Structure 1
Amino acid sequence: MEKDKVMIVALHDKPDLIEDCAKILNEEWPRSKTARMRTIENSNPNLPISLLLIKNTQQNKDEVVGHAKISRLPLVPGTCLIESVLVNPVNRGKGFGKLLMEECEKLATQFGFSWAILSTHDKQEFYRKLGYEFCQPVCQYGAPPSSASHLLETTQPNKTSETVSKTAPCEESVLKTKTAFAQPPPLPEFTNISVPAKKVYMKKSLKQ
């Protein structure tokens, strides 16, 4: 079984793999090596913790094939942030992503967290199958106290609140004035343009 060939370890317990970890992360989300190394070097037993999914190769060498990070949300008590969840392309579709998430949630409960929050651009269905649901956006460094209590509210994706603003009288008169200018020609139609997916936030209760 594929899963029997891998194990999950904390990065700070395998410091010799830090460059390999930075490499697979930068292959998925490019940034400077220096900035990436500075981020993952923070892994420690008291959080944040970077977890590595490693596979032993035929040359008896540890190969980093996946990563996930758990951090605190300072102003949202009892809630952790799971981020940078990744399995390299050649090892996807083998259940490794689910394995990583299960280990993250297990570790989070050991730290006493009741909720896990994450963000994604295109893996909503994957996380939904793991029990996550949409919620309010959250900042890694916390949120203003006035809004922290609303972060765990369930939301629906791709919905925005409708706000009706009042227009000042002078603005209304300008808007109602008919101009003599000719209408501009329609914009050209573009096809096959890739539009980045909007980032959404999802939550899951870790209470059994």
Structure 2
Amino acid sequence: MRVVSAQDADEAAVQEAVQLLNATWPRSDGARRSALQRSKETLPLSLLLVAEEKDAESNGLRPGQVVAHAKISEALEIPTAVLFESVIVCETLRGIGLGRQIMCAAEDFARSRGYKHAYLSTTDKQAFYQHLGYTETDVCVSGLTDALRRVRQSLKQTTIDPSQDDPQTQHSHEAPASPQPAHKPPPPPPPPPPSAPLVPPPPLPPPSVADKPTWLVKRL
């Protein structure tokens, strides 16, 4: 197996990664492809686990087949930590160690960049991650880190030009507009017809414990 970033992967591998991710987290192909191709040497970055010729001989895989994916993002407000997201293994290839391989690759990448901790969340794979050395922790990072980071950068780059006039006084030198003829306001709409009293909808059931994500952390 070899590990490549989505930025360095060929077109066929990117398309396979799109299909792999969308099989679990449906999204338009265009949006998914755009997110993958934003991957770069600085975070966020997506790693792909790709089968090689020898893997095809031993496991019946196709050379170049994308078998696993993991996304590495910066942990919000924790500069020494990363957040692992969208960790996925091809459904027909689970149970043969590919999940461990993509996780080790992600940890090695983060460790080589000087990060000290890795966070992730899961609803049903706690035992797998705990077997890799992760322990439960409080919720201390959030998802959508890419979007929040881009918003912060945008806000930092936004400046106000003090040379511009106040919009309220910018056109004070212009001649006053000609008076407009008065218009009578339209008549009020008729009252709605009587109807049956509204019945409030039934309360939503409480979220299932199984659906509540568990946050885990590991020291790298």
Smaller-chain TM-score bracket: 0.5 to 0.7
5+ long unaligned stretches in structure 2: 147-207
Partner residue, 1:49:
45
Choose 1 or 2 for highest CA Rg.
2
Q: Give secondary structure in 2 for the equivalent of 1:45.
A: coil
Please, which of 53, 68, 72 is the counterpart of residue 66 of structure 1? 68
Please, which of 4, 21, 25 is the counterpart of residue 21 of structure 2? 25
Cα distance change of structure 1 residues 133 and 18 upon mapping to structure 2, 3 Å threshold: same
Partner residue, 2:88:
86
Cα distance change of structure 1 residues 195 and 74 upon mapping to structure 2, 3 Å threshold: closer
**Aligned-pair Cα RMSD in Å:** 2.1
Please, which of 79, 91, 98 is the counterpart of residue 96 of structure 1? 98
Q: Give secondary structure in 2 for the equivalent of 1:29.
A: coil
Cα distance change of structure 1 residues 60 and 123 upon mapping to structure 2, 3 Å threshold: closer
The Cα shift of 1:38 comes to: 2.3
Partner residue, 1:200:
214
Cα distance change of structure 1 residues 39 and 102 upon mapping to structure 2, 3 Å threshold: same
Q: Give secondary structure in 1 for the equivalent of 2:78.
A: coil
Cα distance change of structure 1 residues 195 and 77 upon mapping to structure 2, 3 Å threshold: closer
CA distance in 2 between counterparts of 1:38 and 1:10 reads 14
Matches within 5 A, 1:115-126: 115-126=117-128
The Cα shift of 1:128 comes to: 0.5
After TM superposition, the score normalised by the length of structure 1 is 0.66
After TM superposition, the score normalised by the length of structure 2 is 0.63
Partner residue, 2:178:
none
Partner residue, 1:168:
none
Q: Give secondary structure in 2 for the equivalent of 1:62.
A: coil
